[in-house]
Structure 1
Amino acid sequence: MEKLTIVVPAFNEEEVLNNTLQRLLKIESKLIQAQILDYSSDILVVDDGSADQTWKIIKHYHEKNKSIKGIRLSRNFGHQNALIAGFQAVVASADLVVTIDADLQDDPESINEMINCFAGGAEIVYGVRNDRTTDTWFKRNSAALFYKLLNILGVKLIPNHADFRLMSQRAVKTFLQYKERNLFIRGVIPLLGFSTAKVYYKRTPRLAGKSKYPFKKMLAFAWNGITSFSIIPVRF
């Protein structure tokens, strides 16, 4: 049995965090009771400089259940840096790491299938959205354009995969050897070279709150991805 840590980056997620932690705890508890996961499996929430009650909620749950842990960043460093902070915190203790956003629009029930893929030999398991009907027309089409553009520029991404994935401890250690600033995580992971698998799921609507990726942030994220992996913009 392996120890799993679920890493959840959270920025101003007070409206959804209670539901998120309860669902993730329930999923992990079932897997522990079925003797699929080690009893020490846990959840780490990375508070990315929230200005609301996010940290207070994390502390409240930790006091009731020590398997819920938290890291509070000194300011808002951004989603990708919050994920990296989570990796750095758990890499020495976790055999498996699952990353998932706090809004749970990615289906946490797919974690069981991801673990099955790991048992079958995959060290990286990508969560892939096969139904985005809950997204707006703009978001669906801008995402398709983003993947197409990066593919043209030679950046090999997993289409319709964001940051919901399972990684073995060995894969996480290898990822953390990258020392670049502003790492474009979903572009780096496919370069690691480990055996991979995909788990497909339907994306669901956000339970409450607002997306933390408004149009301006989406553009900055896309530009970071392009410039991190292609010299074509420099040549242009």
Structure 2
Amino acid sequence: MSNPQISIIAPLYNETESFSQLVARLNAVMEASPLSIEVVLVDDGSRDHTAVLMQQLALSDHRYQCVFLSRNYGHQIALTAGIASASASEALFIIDGDLQDPPELLTEFYQKYQEGYDVVYAVRKKRKENWFKRTAYAGFYRLMQSISYVDLPLDSGDFSLISRRVADILKQMPEESRFIRGMRSWIGFRQIGVEYERDARLAGESKYSFGMLQQLAYNGIFNFSEYPVKLITRVGMMTLGIAILYLIQTLIKRFVYHDVPQGFTALLFVIILFSGVQLIALGLIGEYVLRIFFQAKGRPLYVVREVIRQQQRQPLQGMDSLKLQ
């Protein structure tokens, strides 16, 4: 199958339990659609039988292309590998492999694309998850919208359909700490949201731990907002103002009331306050320095172990071919 109209991108990590249902629903979408469609499955270093199932599928069905990463790099990097591996299709449809993003919405998304939109993103009007996750996600998206210098739509994740030119620009952005939904918004062009009800996981447990979600949130905040740096300046000015007020109070007591302050408690408070502010400032600066450090190394974002495409095994050789140009 050459030059399909749509490439469906789905990263997988330990999805043995839901794999058969994923394939069944993808097959149903492809068979019902008049479009020429390929599916790019990316194995993000799975430790179960996901990779074996992917190999069997790709060797038996030419519509499936499978990319196997050398280890677990994380969801955002796996998506990047899928985008880079997709054929020269006119649009890419990005979903999660756990079927929380229904592939059946492809037709609706493609209709919006035909109306001239380069990015059609999904807006979650309802999530079937526990209250803590729902609250955390809602709070994060609203925080990002208030502090980001790009227009990040509320309650929208990576589930989207993007045009070929948007995909090509994403491939030219070799950011090590990736936040694809923010990068997608930064690119611009015409974008529109489509509301949908996000399903619960079909099987298994979420692969995003609290620490991974926190890291993703950090990538969004530090990559698409100037607020942390400005916060340091504001807190510094505030603490300087407190120190000046305390100095004025001390001078008044000394020269007007001839009272020498017994300042052990106050001194202890000031030391703790300034020490805390300094540590917070160093931590925020450290987040930026750490990102600069990893980016400056110039390493490939990922290493591909093997690609199975059109019933042919295509192992990749050399590191240069793995860098996004």
Q: TM-score, normalised by structure 1?
A: 0.92
Partner of 2:166: 171
* Residues 15 and 209, structure 1, Cα contact 8 Å, conserved in 2: yes
Q: Distance in 2 between matches of 1:207 and 1:154?
A: 33
The 8 Å contact of residues 44 and 68 in structure 2, kept in 1 or not, is answered as yes
8 Å Cα contact 1:106/1:201 also seen in 2:
no
Conserved in 2, the CA contact under 8 Å of 1:6 and 1:43? Answer: yes
Residue-by-residue CA offset, 1:188-217 (whole Å, 9 max, x unaligned): 111212112222111111111000112111
2:72 counterpart of 1:70: no
| Aligned pairs for 1:1-236 within 5 A | 3-32=5-34, 37-38=35-36, 41-90=37-86, 92-132=87-127, 134-155=128-149, 156-235=151-230, 236=232
Q: 1:2 offset after TM fit, Å?
A: 6.1
User: CA 1:109–1:136 in structure 2 vs 1: closer, same or farther (change >3 Å)?
Assistant: same
- Partners of 1:166 and 1:53 lie apart in 2 by 29
Measured after TM superposition, the shift of residue 154 of structure 1 is: 2.2
Task: Please identify the structure whose Cα radius of gyration is greater.
Answer: 2
Determine the C-alpha separation between the residues in 1 that align with 2:80 and 2:135.
28
Where structure 1 has 5 or more consecutive residues not aligned to the other structure, the ranges are: none
Runs of 4+ that moved beyond 6 A = none
Give the Cα separation in 1 of the matches to 2:112 and 2:212.
33
Q: Which amino acid aligns with 1:85?
A: A
Structure 2 Cα separation of the partners of residues 76 and 177 of structure 1: 22
Letter in 1 for 2:214: L
Amino acid at match of 2:138: A
Cα distance between partner residues in 2 of 1:22 and 1:184: 30
Using the TM superposition, give the Cα deviation of residue 64 of structure 1 relative to its aligned residue in structure 2, in angstroms.
2.1
| Contact 1:106–1:204, Cα closer than 8 Å, also in 2 | yes
Residues 3-39 of structure 1, C-alpha deviations (whole Å, 9 max, x = no match)? 111000011111111111110121022113xxxx12x
Question: Could you give the per-residue CA deviations for residues 42-68 of structure 1, whole angstroms, max 9, x where no partner exists?
Answer: 101000011110111111111221111
Q: Structure 1 residue 229: deviation in Å?
A: 1.3
Q: How many angstroms apart in 1 are the aligned matches of 2:21 and 2:102?
A: 13
Q: CA deviation at 1:231?
A: 2.8
What is the number of equivalent residue pairs in this alignment? 228
Contact 1:100 1:106 in 2 (8 A): yes
Structure 2 gaps of 5+ residues are 233-325
The 8 Å contact of residues 9 and 82 in structure 2, kept in 1 or not, is answered as yes
What amino acid maps onto 2:13 in structure 1?
Answer: F
Give 1:150 shift.
Answer: 1.3
Q: Distance in 1 between matches of 2:4 and 2:189?
A: 19
In 1, are the aligned partners of 2:145 and 2:153 still within 8 Å (CA)?
A: no
Cα shift readout 1:123-145 (whole Å, capped 9, x = no counterpart): 1100111112x111001100011
Partner amino acid for 2:81?
Answer: A
SS state at 1:103 partner:
coil
RMSD: 1.5
Provide Cα deviations, 1:90-129, integer angstroms capped at 9, x if missing partner: 1x52111001000111222211100111111111100111
Conserved? CA contact 1:4–1:97, under 8 Å? yes
